[in-house]
Structure 1
Amino acid sequence: MTAWPKVSIGDLLRRSDEPAEIDAAVEYHEVTIKLWGKGIVSRGKVRGSDVVSARNVVRHNQLILSKIDARNGAIGMVPPELDGAIVSNDFPSFEFRDPGRCNPAFIGWLVRSAPFVELCRSASEGTTNRVRIKEERFLAQEIALPPLSHQHAIAASLDALTDKIRQVEAHLDAADAASADLLLSLHHQHAAGRSVRLGDVMDLHEVDEPITPAGTYPQVGVRGFGGGLFAKAAISGTDTTYRAFHKLYEGAIVLSQVKGWEGALARCPADLAGWFVSPEYRTFRCRPDRAHSEYLGEIVRTQWFWQKLQDATRGVGARRERTRPEQFLNIEMTMPSLDDQRRIVEVLRRMSPLKERHDAIRQANAALLPATLERIFTEPQ
C-alpha cells in the first residue's frame, strides 16, 4: 500500500483570530481543554461584565490547543455546542484552509493519538513549568494525510469503535449498579433501623512517617466515584514540602479531604499496605468488635454513602469545604450487627470473581482506543 503523503500542518490550517465583542449583559461559555485527548469542554459561563481581558471566539470544527499543555494532549476540535464560546490568548484556534481537503472528524482523531502528542512536544520549548508550544514550529510539523475517502472511512470506523466501547461500559455500569443495589438491600434489611455514628465504630488512626531527604516514598491516590485506590510513582524526600506522610495499613479507610464528598474514599488492600499518602488524605481504622473493614470498604463506595458525606460538608461543587475527620466520624447511618456484616461480606466474596472479570474487561476496554489510534497513526500505511 502506498504511504500517505506528508503535508505540513500549516498547509492545512491557519490561525483564526476572531475577536469577541463582549456584551456586559450576556453570559458566555469559556472553553477549557482536558489533557490526553479527553476533549474540549465548557469551564462554565461567565457574564460579560466579569470579562476583564481580551477574548477570541471559537467555532465548531476549529482545532484548538493549550499553549502550555498541548504537549500533554490538551488539543482537540471544538464541538458544535461550544460554537461561539470564548477563549483567552493561551488557547489559539485554527481553521481549515480548504475544508474539501480534510475531514474534521479525522483530524479530531489524529490529534488524540500518542504520535501527534509527541509532535506537540517536539514543537514546545521552555524551562521547567514554563514550557509552551511554539506556533510557528507547530505549523511547520508534518503529518501523513490520506486521501479524503480514506479519512472518512477511518473516522467512521473509529466512531463505530467508540460506540461499541460505550456499550460495553454501559453494560458493566449496569452490572455494577445491580451489585450495589444488592449490597444496599442487604444492608438496610439486616440493619433493621439500627443507627450508629461512625465515630462509634471506627477511629481516626494515622501512622505518620517522617520524611527524610534520602527517603523514597511510593505514593497512593484515591479515585473519585468509588474508583478505589491506585498506585502512583514514588517521590523522594527532596521533592516534597511535607514533613511527614501517612503510611497505609491493610483495612484502613482512606478519605480524600478535598474530594471525599464525591466518592474519593476507599479501603486499603493488602498490596498497598506500607505505601504512602499525603496529609490531605486521612486514614480511619474500624473497631474490630463493632465494624468489619471489608464491609465498610464496600459501603463507602456507594452513592448512598456519598450523599451522607455531602450532607456532612458545606458548600457547593468545587467550593465545597474539605471533609474534616470530625465531620466524617459524626455521620450517622444504619448499620447491621457485626455478625450480619460478616455474613454479607461472605456473599460479596462469592461475587468477587465476577467483579474481577469486570475490572479486567474495563482495563482492556480503556486500552483499546489508544492502542487503535497508535496503530493507525504510527504504522506505515
Structure 2
Amino acid sequence: MPSFPLIPLGELLTYAPDPHGVEPDRDYPIAGVYGFGRGMIQRAAVTGREMAATQLFRIRAGQFIYSRLKSFEGAYAIVSPEVDGYFVSNEFPTFDLHHEQLEPGFLGWYFRQNRVWRQLASGGKGIGARRERLHPRRLLDHAIPLPPIEQQRRIIAKLDGAALQLKTLRWTADTARAELNATMEAAFRKVIAGAPRVAIGDVAPILRRPVELESNGVYAELGVRSFGKGLFKKPDVIGGELTWQKPFRIHCGDIVFSNIKAWEGAFAVAKPEHHGKVGSHRYLTCVVDTRNATPNFLWYFLQSDAGLAQVQAASPGSADRNRTLSQRKLAAIEIPLPSMDAQFWFDDLQQKASDVQAGQRGVAGELDHLIPALMHQVFE
C-alpha cells in the first residue's frame, strides 16, 4: 500500500490497561490470544483463590491486544464480543483505538500478516530475539500504511467477505468428507457381515528383511505418520554413520507398523514409490498373502474402531513412549476375511473415495492461499 502515508501506531492507539486487584471469592473469566492471527481464546472462569496473580486486567470488545511472549508467532487480535469483560494478565497489553482514524477490522487484518510479525520480532537482539517479549513502545513505534477511513471499510468488507466464503466452503467440504466416511463404514460393515475371522499372522505374517550395510552406502529411510496418514520420506542415512540402528528393507504392499506408535494408527501400506527403501528397527513389516487378502483391505480394518482397539490391546504400557507393539500379539489380531471378490470391490471403493479426498485436498490447498493472496494485494 505504498500510496498511503505510514502512520506510527502510537498516533492511532492509546495504551489502556484496566487493572483489578484479585479477590479470593470472585470468579474471573480468563481470555488469551491465539497465535498466527487466529483471534481470541475464551477460557473458563477461575476463582481468585485458585490463581497466584494478585492483579488482572479487564479487556473490552474492540480493543487491540497482543501477547508479549508470543508476538513473534502472530498472537495479535481485536478483542471479540465473546470475551468482552474478560480478564488477562500483564503479559497482554491492551490498547484503545482512535476510531476516527482507524477501523478495528482494518488493524485486525493488518496484523494477520506474518511479515508484520517478523518486522516486529526483528527489533529484538541476538539469536533469541523471537523469544523476547515485545514491549508496547516497540509496537507503538511501528508505522502502518493508513488509507482513508472509508477505504479501510471497503478493504474490511472485501476480506471479511472472502473469509466468510472460505468458511462456508470448508464447512461444505467437511460435511462431504464426513458423509463419504460414513458411506465407506456402512459398505465395510456390509462386506464383512458373516465373514470368517482369522489371525492376521495367518494371512500377513511379520517378515523383516535385514539390510547388509555398506559404510559408504546411502539408504533412503521411511517413517510412518500417526492416525493413518501414511508413510513419509526421512533424510537419507549413511551406512557408516549408523551405530545401534538396524534398518530393514520395505517392499511395495507391506503393511508397515511403528512399534511405538501403532496404538495411535501409525501404520500404512507401502506404495510403489516406497519399494526398496528402508525402515529402522522400530518398524515391523507384515507381508500380505495376496491369495487370501489385500493389503488395503486389512489396513482399512485395522484403522477402524474395532481393528484399532485390537492394535491398542497389542501395545501394552501406560506412557506413550512405552506402548510398544508386541509382535506376538500383533500376529494374533483377529481380522474379518470375506471373499477376494468382496475385498477387491471394497478396495475399488476405497480408491474412488481416496481420489475424491485428494481432489478436496487440492481445493483446500488452493483455498489456503486465497486469503494470503488477497492480503498481499491489499497491504503490499
TM-score (structure 1 length as normaliser): 0.73
Are 1:362 and 2:364 counterparts?
yes
Quick check: 1:248–1:272 contact (8 Å CA) kept in 2? no
Are 1:124 and 2:124 counterparts?
yes
CA 161–341 in structure 1, closer or farther in 2 if over 3 Å, else same: same
Quick check: 1:255–1:266 contact (8 Å CA) kept in 2? no
Are 1:167 and 2:168 counterparts?
yes
CA 193–73 in structure 1, closer or farther in 2 if over 3 Å, else same: farther
More strand as a share of residues: 1
- How far apart in 1 are the matches of 2:173 and 2:362? 11
Partner residue in 2 for 1:372: 374
Q: Name the amino acid aligned to 2:16.
A: S
CA 48–143 in structure 1, closer or farther in 2 if over 3 Å, else same: same
- How far apart in 1 are the matches of 2:94 and 2:210? 48
- How far apart in 2 are the matches of 1:37 and 1:259? 34
Quick check: 2:24–2:47 contact (8 Å CA) kept in 1? yes
Partner residue in 2 for 1:7: 7
- How far apart in 2 are the matches of 1:377 and 1:60? 25
SS at match of 1:112: coil
CA 153–79 in structure 1, closer or farther in 2 if over 3 Å, else same: same
Structure 1 gap ranges (5+): 238-242, 314-319
Partner residue in 2 for 1:115: 115
SS at match of 1:42: strand
- How far apart in 2 are the matches of 1:46 and 1:206? 54
CA 166–181 in structure 1, closer or farther in 2 if over 3 Å, else same: same
SS at match of 2:30: strand
CA 52–331 in structure 1, closer or farther in 2 if over 3 Å, else same: farther
Deviation at 1:199, TM superposition (A): 6.9
Partner residue in 1 for 2:241: none
Partner residue in 2 for 1:135: 136
- How far apart in 2 are the matches of 1:61 and 1:258? 45
Deviation at 1:361, TM superposition (A): 0.6
Deviation at 1:375, TM superposition (A): 2.0
1:33-112 correspondence runs (5 A): 33-53=33-53, 54-96=55-97, 98-112=98-112
- How far apart in 2 are the matches of 1:329 and 1:46? 46
Quick check: 1:266–1:300 contact (8 Å CA) kept in 2? no
Deviations 1:96-150 (A, max 9, x none): 2x22221111111110023322322233335437433233222101100111111
SS at match of 2:369: helix
- How far apart in 1 are the matches of 2:256 and 2:70? 34
- How far apart in 1 are the matches of 2:248 and 2:351? 27
Worse-matched range after superposition: 27-36 or 61-70:
27-36
Quick check: 2:4–2:147 contact (8 Å CA) kept in 1? yes
Deviation at 1:341, TM superposition (A): 3.0
Are 1:152 and 2:150 counterparts?
no
CA 65–269 in structure 1, closer or farther in 2 if over 3 Å, else same: farther
Deviations 1:341-377 (A, max 9, x none): 3331122224443332222111101111112112211
Partner residue in 1 for 2:320: 322
Quick check: 2:263–2:308 contact (8 Å CA) kept in 1? no
Q: Name the amino acid aligned to 2:96.
A: E
CA 177–56 in structure 1, closer or farther in 2 if over 3 Å, else same: same
CA 44–305 in structure 1, closer or farther in 2 if over 3 Å, else same: farther
Partner residue in 1 for 2:288: 288
Structure 2 gap ranges (5+): 239-243
Tell me how many residue pairs correspond in the alignment: 358
Aligned CA-pair RMSD: 4.6
Quick check: 2:19–2:57 contact (8 Å CA) kept in 1? yes
- How far apart in 2 are the matches of 1:59 and 1:208? 64
Quick check: 2:33–2:41 contact (8 Å CA) kept in 1? yes
Deviation at 1:153, TM superposition (A): 1.1
- How far apart in 1 are the matches of 2:287 and 2:260? 22
- How far apart in 2 are the matches of 1:115 and 1:345? 46
- How far apart in 2 are the matches of 1:16 and 1:125? 27
Quick check: 2:61–2:84 contact (8 Å CA) kept in 1? yes
SS at match of 1:17: coil
CA 136–36 in structure 1, closer or farther in 2 if over 3 Å, else same: same
- How far apart in 2 are the matches of 1:93 and 1:259? 46
Deviations 1:314-333 (A, max 9, x none): xxxxxx96383459969988
Partner residue in 2 for 1:22: 22
SS at match of 1:125: coil
- How far apart in 1 are the matches of 2:24 and 2:248? 52
CA 142–307 in structure 1, closer or farther in 2 if over 3 Å, else same: farther
Partner residue in 2 for 1:335: 336
Over the matched positions of the two proteins, sequence identity in percent amounts to 21
CA 232–106 in structure 1, closer or farther in 2 if over 3 Å, else same: farther
Quick check: 2:208–2:284 contact (8 Å CA) kept in 1? yes
Deviation at 1:277, TM superposition (A): 9.7
